[in-house]
Amino acid sequence: MNDTANEKFVIKELYVSHAPHLHAPISISKIMWNVVIALIPALLGAIYYFGLRALILTLIAVVSAIGFEAFTQKLFSRKITILDGSAVITGILIAYNLPPGVPWWIPIVGSAFAIIIVKQLFGGLGYNFINPALAARAFLVASWPQIMTTKWLAPRSGYLAGFDAITQATPLSLAKHSQDLNTIKILNSWPVIKNLFLGNCGGCIGETSALLLLIGGIYLLARGYINYRIPLAYILTVLILSILLPTKFSPLFHLFSGGLMLGAFFMATDYVTSPVTPKGQWIFGVGCGILTMLIRLWGGYPEGVSYSILLMNVATPLIERYTKPKVFGYKRTKKQ
């Protein structure tokens, strides 16, 4: 700027950008791949309980999700972001929400619906208003109810719901339809609860093992990738309601059966479709818990996790509007 240019030590052409000039070691792909890591224990459990079939279905879902993502982004001339891991998560979650006995084309159709219609048509990552994997599950249940509600497999041990007298059911569907006092007693018994906790029971590929999902969820919490508010509010609400509401089953049965752990740690916490405000996250979690228990006890379906989260996803913009954080110093101005 001055006549100092002839002085040889003057450096020009430095890098200019706005403050801050430091950045936390975090990126979208880092978050996404860590969620994938957190989902791995449940996959290992699924392979153990349901055999290689679980792995193959998951791989089909993941590969097709990546394929559809690349295809749609190419079609819309968007930047191809298949390496950021978000399509991988969607693929895994779609597979986790399928009964292990479904035909091989089901995960492909699910991925197509999730990625093309729910995610990319609304603008891609960050703009989808409902969780793509859950939307795909809802779509599949509505379109092929026969497949989606009967293709259960007995886990490795041969127990479907803790005892092998009944086939073709999950613990929750047993609980829903059984009026038999003996069945209720068995479902509430300690060995059944233990099997539910470990995942040794019938159910969707990735939802059965509460233990392995908890390990993944705690990993995400400890590394700060998800916030404790939604899972805590969700699980606590289910726990409290299962004590308060007239249900024949023990609170532990409600906690460990069905997809509650998968939903609470991996699907309700989806950044894009859950509220960003702290208060809103509490409301979201409590809402999910209430809807889950209402559907389980009085709804038409045995399990309510996926629909409760979808319904709360739709309510997210409204929740955010009414839970804006109070700006620093706001209260004082009101009083004056």
CB neighbour burial string for 175-214, b if at least 16 within 10 angstroms, e if fewer: bbebeeeebbebbbeeebbebbbbbbbbbbbbbbbbbbbb
Between 207 and 320, CB nearer to other proteins: 320
Closer residue to other proteins, CB minimum distance, 11 or 181:
11
What does the block give as tokens for 13?
A: 């052409």
Query: How far apart are CB 129 and other proteins at their closest, in Å?
Result: 11
Does residue 222 touch other proteins according to CB under 8 A? no
- Near other proteins by CB under 8 A, which window of 47-55, 99-107, 195-203, 267-275? 267-275
The answer to the question of residue 1 lying near other proteins (CB under 8 A) is yes
Distance in angstroms (rounded) separating the CA atoms of residues 203 and 171: 8
Kindly identify the residues of this chain, within the stretch 120-159, that bind other proteins according to CB under 8 A.
123-127
- Closest separation in Å from C-beta 316 to other proteins: 9
Q: Is 26 in the site for other proteins (CB under 8 A)?
A: yes
* Percent helix, percent strand, percent coil in the chain, to nearest 5: 60, 0, 40
Under rule CB under 8 A, residue 331 binds other proteins:
yes
Q: Is 103 near other proteins (CB under 8 A)?
A: no
Q: Which of 30, 74, 185, 223 binds other proteins (CB under 8 A)?
A: 30
Determine which helix (DSSP H) or strand (DSSP E) holds 168, and give its type and residue range: none
Q: Residue 159's closest CA among 115, 122, 203?
A: 203
Pair of tokens at residue 267? 């699907």
Residues 291, 148, 159, 212, CA torsion sign:
negative
* Interface residues toward other proteins, by CB under 8 A: 1-2, 4-5, 7, 9-28, 30-31, 123-127, 227, 271-272, 274-278, 281, 324-333, 336
